[in-house]
Amino acid sequence: MIFLIHYDRPRGTIVKLERFSAQDRERAGNERLLIEIDLSRRGLQQQEVVLLEAENEGVLRKTHHRYFGNVQQIVTSSSG
């Protein structure tokens, strides 16, 4: 499964989380590009748009937990 994540770094929040099947890889890439073009036009350089591949959202939350937890949760899980 492919996950498109639009992340607002200053706020530490996910703006958009969309799932795509492996067969929709090109559509996922196109969606990412459209979001990045829009953010560039609006001067929002602190926004992050990524495509990540994982078996499921649970795995994604473990491997890329910084997108899903607040700063305190991330620090706590990293030190434990």
Summarised one tens digit per residue, pLDDT across range 12-23 is 899 999 999 999
The pLDDT of residue 70 is 59
The pLDDT of residue 69 is 76
Domain boundary assignment for the chain:
2-79
Q: Distance between CA 19 and CA 24 in Å, rounded?
A: 10
Q: Distance between CA 40 and CA 3 in Å, rounded?
A: 21
The pLDDT of residue 65 is 87
Q: Distance between CA 80 and CA 48 in Å, rounded?
A: 27
Q: Is the pTM of this model over 0.85?
A: no
What are the pLDDT digits (tens) for 37-79?
999 999 998 999 999 999 999 999 999 988 987 544 444 444 4
CA atoms within 13 A on the CB side of 73: 10
